[in-house]
Amino acid sequence: MGRIRCTVEGGFAVVRMDDGKVNAIESGWCAEFGATLDRVEADPGVTALLLFGRPGCFCAGLDRKLLPKLAPAELRATTQAFVSTMERVFLFPKPVLAGSAGHALAGGLMLYLASDLRFAVDDVDSRYGLPEVSQGIPLIGSTAAICTAAMAPVRHAELLLHGRQLKASEAFEWGLVHELAASREALEARALERAGALRGLELGAYRATKRALRAPLLEEARASTERILGDLPRGNPFSAPRRAP
């Protein structure tokens, strides 16, 4: 069984990420996920994409065990694949609904925030956060833009710069989560219900409006993205010792 599974249920593409661990992202994952997006986008019978993680973890972001071992060119390619994947989800021409029944951290939170409607199980153990800066890793321009688009400017410093981690209820209060659910089953049922309510959207107008709203944000950020990516061959920031939170 693959780590990314996609089934079509009632006109919705239901994508489940489950690698048995924390749904870590690397270049192979990006290729597999991209192929899934290709199929969903090309299927005229699919009106929305629903994205779920595994119990306890939506996604923990880039594979921190693998990244320190990569040569500079490999690191640059992996980083570019990740950035391109996040941008594609952010601009995806059909509604994207994400449901988290666990942690969404670092690149995993970026993936979550790139979605259009976000659901979470209301539990006290799950954490939502961006620890990159506190670990010595600069946030890439366009992925930072995706994150800042999902929250009020007053929240930017705490989440992006200071590495604050939120419980699900706090993430809801901050606007990162649109709806809370009491259980994973209730979360998935509600996401399907909301997807059904969006079925009547005219997708041509939806696609054009989403691009009009979001593409300028990415274009403005790409200059800094290219500058940071261009610096990566000079060293591997992921090889530095991890700092205590």
188 part of the active site: no
> What is the rounded CA–CA span in Å between residue 195 and residue 79?
31
To which H or E segment does residue 8 belong?
Answer: strand 4-9
Q: Which of 26, 32, 41, 132 is catalytic?
A: 132
The CA–CA distances, whole Å, from 95 to 81, 91, 156, 177 equal: 22, 10, 25, 16
Residue written as token pair 């009491």: 182
> What is the rounded CA–CA span in Å between residue 101 and residue 120?
6
DSSP-based three-state secondary structure for 96: strand
> What is the rounded CA–CA span in Å between residue 12 and residue 117?
14
Catalytic residue list: 132
